[in-house]
Amino acid sequence: MKSRLFQLIYYGLPALFVAVSALALNSGTFLKRPFGAHDDIAAHLEQLLSHTEEQRWEDAGAAVRQLGEAWRHVRGRVRLSSAFEEVEAFDLELAGLQGALESGDASQTRIAVRRLLALWEDIGS
């Protein structure tokens, strides 16, 4: 009886650990899904693109603040299943977007939003 329990712990625990680790590391698409309207990165980016094309800079500024908050919520989840470089690239592009928005440059803002959309599609996949 003791031998059976020992075997279960000896072989079962490492197998369980490996299975849970593999699931966590391959759950990028699940972790990217929004858990509410507050952390929907893709929707915030699309909204920002819309505001930029219509040159509504005050609304775009508010959208960037919402995007930053959403990214802070999602960043910890996505970091589990993404490469460090992908997360850092998103951070840098977000900073570039804020700079382009502050300067009021519509073309640079659109470029930054499109880059962020492309990065978002690649993160965790």
Which residue range is the domain that position 75 belongs to? 2-122
Calpha distance 99→108 (Å, rounded): 9
Q: Radius of gyration of the chain from Cα atoms?
A: 20
Check residue 12 and give its pLDDT.
83
Q: Which residue has the higher pLDDT, 26 or 111?
A: 111
The SS3 call for residue 105 is: coil
Predicted confidence (pLDDT) per residue in 11-61, tens digit: 888 888 887 776 666 655 656 676 677 778 889 999 999 998 888 889 999
Q: Cα 89 to chain center, whole Å? A: 11
63 touches 98 (CB < 8 A) = no
Check residue 34 and give its pLDDT.
67
Check residue 93 and give its pLDDT.
93
Q: CATH number of the domain at 64, please.
A: 1.20.120
Q: How many domains does the chain contain in total? A: 1
Check residue 9 and give its pLDDT.
81
Predicted confidence (pLDDT) per residue in 46-104, tens digit: 999 999 888 888 999 999 999 999 999 888 888 876 778 888 999 999 999 999 988 88
Q: Give residues with Cβ within 8 angstroms of 83, minimum separation 6.
A: none
Calpha distance 87→76 (Å, rounded): 10
Check residue 123 and give its pLDDT.
82
Calpha distance 113→122 (Å, rounded): 14
Q: Give residues with Cβ within 8 angstroms of 101, minimum separation 6.
A: 52, 57, 60, 61, 64, 109
